[in-house]
Amino acid sequence: ARLIEEFGFTHEQAAKAVGKSRSAVTNLLRLIQLAKPVQAMLLAGDIDMGHARALLPLPGASQVALAQRIAAQGLSVREAERMATALALAGGQIGDKKTKTKASEGALAHDPDMDRLTREIADLIGLNAQFKLKGKGGELRIQFSQFDELDSLLKKLGIEA
C-alpha cells in the first residue's frame, strides 16, 4: 500500500517490486477496506483470505457479525460467499427478519455457475465484480477504489483513457 500511496506505483508496478502477481496485490489491497476487527481475525488466522474477500460488499457491522459466524461455525469459503451474497442482496443485518426472508429467497435463486463466472471475471480483471440478474437480463458491476485500477481495466479492454 505504501508503494502505491507514497510513490504513486500502479498495482502492476507494486506487484513487480514485491515479486507477486498484480491480481494478488490488488486482492490484498482490497482487504484493507475490511472492518478493523475482521482484519484482526484474518491476521489471527480465524478466517482466511477467501472468507475475507466474501465479506467486502457488506457494511462494517455485517462484516464483523458474519466473520464471527464463519469462525465459530467453521464455514467454508463457498458457504461464506453464499451468506454474504444473501446479506448484501437483503441490505439488512444478520438476524433481521428482512434479511432472513430475502436470504432464503436468494438461496433458492442461487446459481453456482454465476458464482464461478463472477470469480473468474474478478480474478481476470483483478477487481471485485458482481452480477445482478433481472428477469432475462441483468447487470455486471465492476468496483474500483482508485482510478489507476480503472485505467488498468480499460487497458485490458483495449480502451485508451
Helix (H, G, I), strand (E, B) or coil at 140: strand
- Whether the full predicted model's pTM is greater than 0.75, yes or no, is no
Report the chain's mean pLDDT, rounded to a whole number.
Answer: 78
pLDDT band at 91 (very low <50, low <70, confident <90, very high): low
Mean local confidence (pLDDT), 69-79: 91
- In whole angstroms, what is the distance from residue 150 CA to residue 144 CA? 6
pLDDT above 70 (res 70): yes
pLDDT for 64: 92
**If we measure between CA atoms, which residue out of 114, 99, 108, 124 comes closest to residue 23?**
124
Contact 21, 15 (CB under 8 A): yes
25 vs 95, more confident = 25
Question: Percent of the chain at pLDDT above 70?
Answer: 84
| pLDDT tier at 141, thresholds 50, 70, 90 | confident
**Structure confidence at residue 20 (pLDDT):** 85
Query: What was the pLDDT predicted at 95?
Result: 43
Strongest mean pLDDT among 10-19, 75-84, 114-123: 75-84
d(CA 20, CA 13) in angstroms, rounded, equals 10
Q: What are phi and psi of 131, to 5 degrees?
A: -105, 140
Q: Does residue 2 carry a pLDDT above 70?
A: yes
CB 38 within 8 A of CB 64: yes
Count the alpha carbons within 13 Å of 12 in the hemisphere toward its beta carbon.
9
Average of per-residue pLDDT across 112-137: 76
Residue 40 predicted with pLDDT over 60: yes
Segment holding 131, helix H or strand E: strand 128-134
Q: Which residue would you say has higher pLDDT here, 116 or 42?
A: 42
114 has a pLDDT exceeding 70: yes
Question: Which residues, at least 6 apart from 47, have a Cβ–Cβ distance to it below 8 Å?
Answer: 38, 41, 67, 70, 71, 80
Of 86 and 47, the structure prediction assigns the larger pLDDT to 47
